[in-house]
Structure 1
Amino acid sequence: MEVSFTPLIMCTNFIRACCRMSDRPGELVLGDGLHAGTGTTASSDRLERTSAGNWQRSPDSEMDPELTPSQQSALQALVTAARDHIAAQPQETAGLNIAIVGPPVRDAILDRPGRDLAFVVTETDAATLRERGFDPVPGSDDVVQDATGTSWRLPRRPSVHSADLPVGDTDDESGELRMDLRGRGLRVDALAVWLTSPDSSVAATESHQLDIDPAATLLDPFDGLNDIAAGRLRHTPGAFDTDPLCVVRTARRAAELGAPGSSIPESTPGPTPATPDTFAVAESTRARMAAVIADLNLVDRDRLGDEIQAAMAEAVDPRRFWEVLADVGGLAVLASTLDRGRIVPAGPEMFHAEGDVFTHAMEVLDQMHARCVDADITGQDRVRRYLMAIAHDLGKVPIANEGGGLHSEDPPTSFPNHSTRGKAPADRLATRLGLPDHVGEAMVDAADLHMTVPDVVTWEPDRLLEFIEAHTRPQDDALPDFATVEELLDLIRADHQGRWQARTSFDRSSAYYEDPTLPNDVVRPRFHETAYETRVETARTALEEIDGHTILRRGLCRDHAEGDLENDALAATARRCADCRSPGAWVGEELAAARQELLTDDSG
């Protein structure tokens, strides 16, 4: 799908992010004291970019460059925060050439919530930084960290395979930084702010820089500002040739920044407005991604797993990550079972009008995302839930394949035992994607249990208590090697409401709810979560409040019952006292009976 953006909006977004009018005619000031040049090469009807790469106001522009205070000070606030951070560190930083790089700069320009600072230091080496007091990072020769754990890295130096790749001069600090920015893959990420003033002779040759203050300069060697304004994701020259992981990173940025479609043209004329939350992959970048997709087989699995986890943790639209990869052939390389799910029906059309297994997984992912946002579930807890949604129905694919249904004119719509059959492909997917063991085990549980957990409200007490004990997160809050009760309940809720079901399949309106984004003849089944929450809460109460110590106290004599015995002393005291009931099989029997009584009363 092609999406166009008007130059007016392109310019307005950029201006609102970081500029105001100068008191000098025809000039703009970016941040505090950032003066743009006065060249004449036009790049839009609102702003002109000079041959030196600077921005100026077009003579016929009617744009009002006034800013909100937060927009006007975005870049300067970033610089101030970085300087304050550096000043608070015990490491010696005097004389270092320091730059803030990548997404923190981009997000400041977009006036988005900030993220952790990321520093690059040029014209030095890791040994020198360690001598200055920086701590080494295990397994990395070019990254150190300060007292807060913030990373400081040396510039990336990618190898060059593309004949048309402009390497540039890397014998100075500005050239080293350009090399690093090119290796970041996307032009919107290839932005940096120098926190120290480069040598004047270097600065004079740098064509895409803007002064923020006398000692801070915005560096934009690959036209990232234009791409931010246009809502466009374009690759930096040669990036995909040197690091195919940039394919996955592009999908990650599409999910993080949002996108209206899979690709947009290089130029964006027309009336459709862009917003800072609207980014799409440029056609040339999409083509480049597809051309190097097989090289993903060469990417280290740990790097791949880290990238995917970051994508899921940061995404404002996690579905976009998987759709972008599918669009360029990435799923066929990284997640072949999920990719084949695009031609396997999710089920009978009356109950799965959304279509195929892949589309159903995306719908479930949407529902899981809404749940995580509403409940403020973040970090690895969110990553686990998203990947559980991806893996839960993979078992339908091998069943369809065995029946010859993948390419059949009459493909199967019934998949008996697909939960059990889904465990192996879920495990293989987690391994292929380089995910940690705890995520992989949660994905396997998602496939295995998503069809049985919906019956939890009708389970007998023994089975329910066993399930709760087996899937309760450890008290030390460690990420467990299993799916937790809460994660599984969130999954079955998302799975239930991730279906497009025919309105005529319901006998009462309370069983479904309208979704205005769906066709008129389909609705979403309603998930009545209160019954599940009540049942689980009662089971937890039975486990936590009725334990072996509770039962032992019931067998104490009056004198000991009125005493203040610690739990650890109960068994020994009961054995010594002739009037107390000595521990034995009766404890387990009465414990089970007491818990069952509580759960039976609740279900009644």
Structure 2
Amino acid sequence: MPNTVFPGDDPETGPDRTRGGAEPPPPELSGAQRAAISGLLRSIDTIAEELGGRFATAGHELAIVGGPVRDALLGREVHDLDLTTDAVPQRILELVDGWADAVWTVGIDFGTVGLRKGGLQVEITTYRSEAYQPKSRKPEVSYGDSLYGDLARRDFTVNAMAARLPEQGIVDPFGGLADLAAGVLRTPGRPEDSFSDDPLRIMRAVRFAAQLGFTLAPEVKEAAAGMADRLAIVSAERVRDELVKLMLSPDPRTGIELMVELGIAAHVLPEIPRMRLEIDEHHRHKDVYEHSLTVLDQAIDLERQRGMEPDLVLRLAALLHDVGKPKTRAFEDGGRVTFHHHEVVGASMSKSRLGALRFPKDVVADVGTLVSLHLRFHGYGKGEWTDSAVRRYARDAGHLLQRLHVLTRADCTTRNRRKAAALARSYDDIERRIDTLAEEEELNKIRPDLDGNEIQRILGIGPGPLVGKAYRFLLELRLENGPMEKEAVAAELRLWAAEHTP
């Protein structure tokens, strides 16, 4: 069995008593955990033996650290490797020269060298410590000289474990094994110090809760709540990346609820806690916040049922689809509550927030489109829509049509089984009609029956704005009537031109 270092003990300097006395040793590695670590090391035997041997021969330490060790112990698949060493970046480059298939130095300013060997991607980082100055958006990095010191700077104890190479001993100075078994997130030192060093760890805590199903230790929750405003110094891109990982996790609801509970959402997605509309004895209506979380859950369930991969655009749209309600809420006679045009306001708000978080433009646009369209189906009634209305519904959704199907179905959260069943039947009908029209008319390729050259020839005009206007008229004609004979379309075009040409 690999050697295990007990929590609080520095392999180089001996026991640490700065945290209030000796701590009990962590549990022995279980048979399954031993097998997991052995399997991890077997899967990377080339790196474990060859690269570990290279560093050892040169008098340097090397260890697998952080996520790969944690994931192996959890039985999760390990794709890429994070290694740490006492060698400085230039020395790392010398040691991997001629051995790695490819090397890159994008992160070398932060002490990281990337490489590829066979099918594995590896990052090797010099022992280091990071700290943010009070108003800095970037950490100050300094190199360390011990594995213990490097692990001490890690975000959580479950990420502060290492497997030494090539000897394969497990290093666990802060009780990560025990916290892994308990499913608890703790920090190696005081959480206030950890979150001060890198405030993004506050977001990472709620992300791990959603991703791994862990709970936050009480002191971690308290520190996160008290220091949430420190997220303001972190770049929008780094916050966005954590939010993306949270939203694509198996249980994003848990992460969102923690963000709201701890006041983190106020600094990342302030629109979400604002959806917790007060309910009083005179104006009763659904809690928009809880409804939105339920829609998110149901959208994820439908993803799985339909064999879809976790879909960021769909999940963001589910979370934000009613974000415009607080701004549009109005009270009418008889205690009725309305949210007129909240889908339009919500689309604008969604795009503004996601843009501020530096999401790609296509994600911002797609989420905004889904939010703006999420109510469209509710005008369908019992199937009274004409074929032209169905065509427009499919045309307006475009490449987002399947996502719109899922979002619209997920938006039904009524507890009235009869009403829910009726809505489901209606949406079954609209999907069937879209499929039929798509098969007959290739809805995803709808174009006017005449192209620009034909428009110019029939009207006897050259290129210019009138051609574009005529094209849009013919597109509406196509949506209204379906495919038409070209002679009939030409006749309609001439009538339109007679009214619109000076």
- When normalised by structure 2's length, the TM-score is 0.72
Cα distance in 2 for residues equivalent to 1:327 and 1:591: 48
Which structure has the highest helix share of the two? 2
Counterpart in 1 of 2:373? 449
Cα distance in 2 for residues equivalent to 1:535 and 1:596: 20
- Contact 1:391 1:446 (C-alpha < 8 Å) held by counterparts: no
Cα distance in 1 for residues equivalent to 2:125 and 2:429: 55
Cα distance in 2 for residues equivalent to 1:38 and 1:396: 53
Question: Which one of the candidate residues 52, 69, 74 is aligned to 1:110?
Answer: 74
- Contact 2:64 2:84 (C-alpha < 8 Å) held by counterparts: no
Question: Which one of the candidate residues 388, 403, 412 is aligned to 2:317?
Answer: 388
Counterpart in 2 of 1:358? 289
- Contact 1:119 1:151 (C-alpha < 8 Å) held by counterparts: yes
What is the letter of the counterpart of residue 341 of structure 1? Answer: M
Question: Which one of the candidate residues 266, 281, 301 is aligned to 1:332?
Answer: 266
Cα distance in 1 for residues equivalent to 2:108 and 2:326: 40
What is the letter of the counterpart of residue 232 of structure 2? Answer: N
Does residue 532 (structure 1) correspond to residue 456 (structure 2)? The answer is no
What is the letter of the counterpart of residue 114 of structure 1? Answer: E
- Contact 2:343 2:373 (C-alpha < 8 Å) held by counterparts: yes
Question: Which one of the candidate residues 141, 146, 165 is aligned to 1:195?
Answer: 165
Does residue 341 (structure 1) correspond to residue 296 (structure 2)? The answer is no
What's the offset of the Cα at 1:308?
1.0
Does residue 120 (structure 1) correspond to residue 120 (structure 2)? The answer is no
Does residue 437 (structure 1) correspond to residue 361 (structure 2)? The answer is yes
Counterpart in 2 of 1:368? 299
Matches within 5 A, 1:489-568: 489-496=405-412, 499-501=413-415, 503=416, 510-512=418-420, 526=424, 529-544=427-442
Cα distance in 1 for residues equivalent to 2:93 and 2:435: 52
Q: Structure 1 residues 525, 534: closer, same or farther in 2, change over 3 A?
A: closer
- Contact 2:89 2:108 (C-alpha < 8 Å) held by counterparts: no
- Secondary structure, aligned partner of 2:170: strand
- Contact 1:393 1:418 (C-alpha < 8 Å) held by counterparts: yes
- Secondary structure, aligned partner of 1:216: coil
- Contact 1:391 1:444 (C-alpha < 8 Å) held by counterparts: no
Q: Unaligned regions of 5+ residues in structure 2, if any?
A: 10-20, 135-141, 451-470, 486-502
Bigger mean CA deviation after superposition, 458-467 or 247-256: 458-467
- The percentage of counterpart residues that share the same residue type is 24
What's the offset of the Cα at 1:357?
1.5
Bigger mean CA deviation after superposition, 454-463 or 281-290: 454-463
Cα distance in 2 for residues equivalent to 1:375 and 1:251: 28
Cα distance in 2 for residues equivalent to 1:451 and 1:590: 24
Counterpart in 2 of 1:243? 198
What's the offset of the Cα at 1:241?
0.9
- When normalised by structure 1's length, the TM-score is 0.61
- Secondary structure, aligned partner of 1:158: strand
- 1:299-353 superposed Cα distances (whole Å, 9 cap, x missing partner): 111111111111222x22110110011111011111222111112569x998x6x
What's the offset of the Cα at 1:257?
1.9
Q: Higher relative contact order at CA 8 Å, sep ≥6: structure 1 or structure 2?
A: 1
- Contact 2:82 2:122 (C-alpha < 8 Å) held by counterparts: yes
Cα distance in 2 for residues equivalent to 1:38 and 1:318: 34
Counterpart in 2 of 1:399? 328
Cα distance in 2 for residues equivalent to 1:547 and 1:440: 24
- Secondary structure, aligned partner of 1:358: helix
Does residue 460 (structure 1) correspond to residue 378 (structure 2)? The answer is no
Q: Structure 1 residues 121, 56: closer, same or farther in 2, change over 3 A?
A: closer
- 1:390-425 superposed Cα distances (whole Å, 9 cap, x missing partner): 11001101123xx6x8xxxx9973111111111221
Counterpart in 2 of 1:79? 41
What is the letter of the counterpart of residue 75 of structure 1? Answer: I
- Contact 1:126 1:144 (C-alpha < 8 Å) held by counterparts: no
Q: Structure 1 residues 465, 114: closer, same or farther in 2, change over 3 A?
A: same
Query: How many aligned residue pairs are there?
Result: 424
Question: Which one of the candidate residues 404, 410, 425 is aligned to 1:488?
Answer: 404
- Secondary structure, aligned partner of 1:100: strand
Counterpart in 2 of 1:174? 147
Counterpart in 1 of 2:351? 427
Counterpart in 2 of 1:268? none
- Secondary structure, aligned partner of 2:169: strand
Does residue 289 (structure 1) correspond to residue 224 (structure 2)? The answer is yes
- Contact 1:453 1:488 (C-alpha < 8 Å) held by counterparts: no
What is the letter of the counterpart of residue 310 of structure 1? Answer: K
- Contact 1:334 1:432 (C-alpha < 8 Å) held by counterparts: no
- Contact 2:398 2:444 (C-alpha < 8 Å) held by counterparts: no
Does residue 299 (structure 1) correspond to residue 263 (structure 2)? The answer is no
- Contact 2:283 2:336 (C-alpha < 8 Å) held by counterparts: no
- 1:513-550 superposed Cα distances (whole Å, 9 cap, x missing partner): 7xxxxxxxxxx97565432331222232234399799x
